[in-house]
Amino acid sequence: MQDEFCTLMEQSIPHLRGYARSLCRNADAADDLVQDTLVRMWSARSQFVGGTNFKAWVFTILRNRFLDQRRRDRDAFERLEDIVDERLVERPNQETAVHFDDVARAFWRLSPNHQEILMLVGANGHSYEEAAEVIGCAVGTVRSRLSRARVELQAALGRPEHRRRNAPRRRSKGAPEFLERLARA
């Protein structure tokens, strides 16, 4: 059981890093949050019930740890290095990079609940049920928040919703693949 727990723990690290980065918006703070989460996971390993959703369990630990830190650091400040780096970096000229930047900016203007649900379901690929378990709410609430978050993101990008309801959905590469590639780098 302990070997299985270690394997599950190791496999969850890239996903935890991606989610932590979306919450913290700072790579160093995200890495610290993941490390804290791993320590808490290890300490609480006896509380994990085998056969249940491990990913939802660890995401809940990470989210709760993040919220605890936010409550303690109400007077948080933005690091000078982050501000300077953000203003001095020259953005690439490629259309894709510009579009990604527009989406990222629109994303960070969303409410925290909408950011969270888009990261869990959209970027991290959780099912509605898994996201509901992580957040601690009903599946219907997840669907509702996700719908409102998508509409808010589209509005922030200045795009009307004109997708036909019965149009076939195409699966293309998106945020999960991007985050996976970041984790491997």
pLDDT in tens, 9-34: 999 999 999 888 888 888 888 999 99
- The pLDDT of residue 130 is above 70: yes
**What average pLDDT does range 59-70 have in this prediction?**
89
- The pLDDT of residue 173 is above 60: no
- The pLDDT of residue 36 is above 90: yes
Domain residue extents for the chain? 2-72, 93-168
pLDDT at 143: 93
The label of the residue with tokens 């919220």 reads 67
Prediction pTM value: 0.51
**What average pLDDT does range 54-59 have in this prediction?**
91
pLDDT at 111: 87
- The pLDDT of residue 121 is above 60: yes
User: Looking at domain 93-168, which of 1.10.1130.10, 3.40.630.30, 1.10.10.10, 3.30.70.270 is its CATH number?
Assistant: 1.10.10.10
* Structure confidence by residue, pLDDT tens digits, 138-171: 999 999 999 999 999 888 888 655 443 444 444 4
Out of 41-45, 113-117, 151-155, 170-174, least confident range? 170-174
- The pLDDT of residue 88 is above 60: no
**What average pLDDT does range 87-107 have in this prediction?**
68
If pLDDT is split at 50, 70 and 90, which confidence band does 41 have? very high
Q: Which two tokens stand for residue 12?
A: 């969850």
Topology of the domain covering 2-72 = Rna Polymerase Sigma Factor; Chain: A (1.10.1740)
